[in-house]
Amino acid sequence: MAFDAQCDLAAVVYGADDDPDRLLIDFADDLSRSGRRVVGVAQVGRSCRSDNPVLGLVVLPTGGVVHLVDDVRNRAAGCRLNTGRLTAVAKQLGSLIAAGSDLVIINRFGRSEADGRGLTQLITGALDADIPVLVAVPEYRFATWIKFSDGMNVRLACRREALDRWWRSLATSSPHRLQNGARTLCETR
Report the percent of the chain where pLDDT is more than 70.
77
Q: Which domain holds residue 130?
A: 79-177
Contact partners, residue 22, CB within 8 Å, separation at least 6: none
26 occurs within a structural domain: no
Classify burial at 130, counting beta carbons within 10 Å of its beta carbon; exposed 0-12, middle 13-18, buried 19 or more: middle
User: pTM of this prediction?
Assistant: 0.81
Contacts 24+ apart (CB under 8 A), 70-73: 72/48
Angle made by CA atoms 104, 109, 115, in degrees to the nearest 5:
120
pLDDT at position 50 over 60: no
Q: What is the pLDDT of residue 11?
A: 96
SS3 content of the chain, % helix, strand, coil (to 5): 40, 20, 40
- Kindly give, in sequence order, each residue whose CB lies less than 8 Å from that of residue 103, ignoring residues fewer than 6 positions away: 28, 31, 36, 37, 38, 39, 40, 131, 132, 133, 134
Question: Which phi and psi (to 5°) does residue 52 adopt?
Answer: -105, 95
Does a structural domain hold residue 185?
no
Residue type, 40: G
What are the tens digits of pLDDT across the range 102-152? 999 998 898 888 888 888 899 988 988 889 999 999 999 999 999 998 888
In a domain, 93, yes or no: yes
Rounded Cα gap, residues 128 and 185, in angstroms: 9
Give the count of beta carbons closer than 10 Å to the beta carbon of residue 99: 9
179 burial via Cβ count (<10 Å: 0-12, 13-18, 19+): exposed
Q: What is the pLDDT of residues 11-34, one digit of tens each?
A: 999 999 999 999 999 999 999 999
Q: Which pLDDT value is given to residue 54?
A: 64
The answer as to whether 59 is a domain residue is no
Q: Is residue 159 part of a domain?
A: yes
What does R_g of the chain's alpha carbons equal in angstroms? 16
Question: What is the total count of domains within the chain?
Answer: 1
